[in-house]
Amino acid sequence: MGDEDKTFVWLKRQVDEPVAQKIHALGIKGIYQRKEYKRKYPEGEAAAHVVGFTNVEDNGQEGIELSFNKELAGKAGSRRVIKDRLGRVVEGVGEQVPPVEGKDIQLSVDSKVQFFAYQKLRDAVTARKAKAGSVVVLDAITGEVLALANYPSYVPDKRQNLTGEQLRNRALTDTFEPGSTMKPITVAMALEAGRVKPQTLVETGPGRFSIGGFTISDTHNYGTLTVEGVIQKSSNVGALKIAQKMSPHEMWDTYTALGYGQKPQIQFPGAVTGRLRPWKNWRPVEQATMAYGYGLSASLFQMAHSYTSFAHDGQIIPVTMLKSSEPAIGVRVFSAENVRRAPDAPDGRGTGRHRPTGADGRLFGRRKVGHCAQAGRQRLCQQ
């Protein structure tokens, strides 16, 4: 029964038009129809985890619809009246409160980038018979989220058989051990601390290193490598030896500055913190494994965010789901000189299972332009 009108009871809401016409044709006394607006989602499953959806009362349940429900929905007006015994309004009493229209929300998401990111992700998951996958694309200048997609996904308009697996926004809620994608960060912090230079030699032979009763191995015996070579060969032994030149406290400070072990500051529900243990509790083997991305965990979104420090001259920038035309103001983690000296990311033959790279092999996104799609009650706009 509607809270605002208790003179009737809903039998079924938002039925399809053909069904409504058949019921109307029956002419059953006491059954009436009322037209309502129904939320439409033009981008469908490609942007489902970004936009989310509303329930039948138009209240946000997932995604941006939930995060900005208050702004989108507005506020109902009110007035006090006197009615006669038949329920007819006789006169108004007191001051009338006008309704407040909901605001439009313009997202930073580029509809073209979002569509192609989702399409490529879906094809990759299917081709590799993977359980699921995620993709995040950030603008390295403004901090805007240009695309965020997960597979499997769902069609927001058709949620009859929706499962938890489809609903999960894995890019924000699922964590993993990043693997070799952490090696450039290890090198960057060593460069920043002045412990190495790009051409410093690191002995990785015979391709194994024992520490704390554990043996850490490379896929091959790479012998003596430069710091740049450690990244190019994705050497676990080389990365841990570079890490040993720093204290656990130094590494922990850099990790936290890059957002690891911290909840992402983004206007979105469900973002997780990940796992980064206090540096005082690190054993030597844990410091070694963290150098090549094991012993800590992060979401894909946290990984992508941390890499903005490489694309933004050593500054990690705040990320946003909302449209922004101004360059983001970052917090310096590395000097611009050391970022330029840092080698590129591993070539894909390393230990990391998640390597979000652009078309040119680097991990830095750029801004796009597009259009704003109408989406029902108030607008959720995508570029």
Active site residues: 180
Contact 222, 183 (CB under 8 A): no
**Distance (Å, rounded) from C-alpha 30 to C-alpha 8?**
10
**Distance (Å, rounded) from C-alpha 343 to C-alpha 259?**
21
Query: 3-class SS at 241?
Result: helix
Which residue in 253, 256, 251, 221 sits closest to 236, CA to CA? 221
Amino acid at 341: R
Question: CA of 21: how far to CAs of 15, 26, 33, 323, in Å?
Answer: 10, 9, 10, 42
Torsion of the alpha carbons at 349, 352, 357 and 363, rounded to the nearest 10: -110
**Distance (Å, rounded) from C-alpha 49 to C-alpha 169?**
6
Question: CA of 58: how far to CAs of 32, 62, 74, in Å?
Answer: 21, 12, 11
Query: 3-class SS at 284?
Result: helix
Alpha helices by DSSP H, listed for the chain, are 17-26, 48-51, 63-67, 69-73, 111-127, 164-167, 170-173, 183-193, 227-233, 236-243, 248-257, 284-290, 300-306, 308-311, 336-341
Query: 3-class SS at 89?
Result: strand
Burial (0-12, 13-18, 19+ Cβ within 10 Å), 50: buried
Contact 198, 226 (CB under 8 A): yes
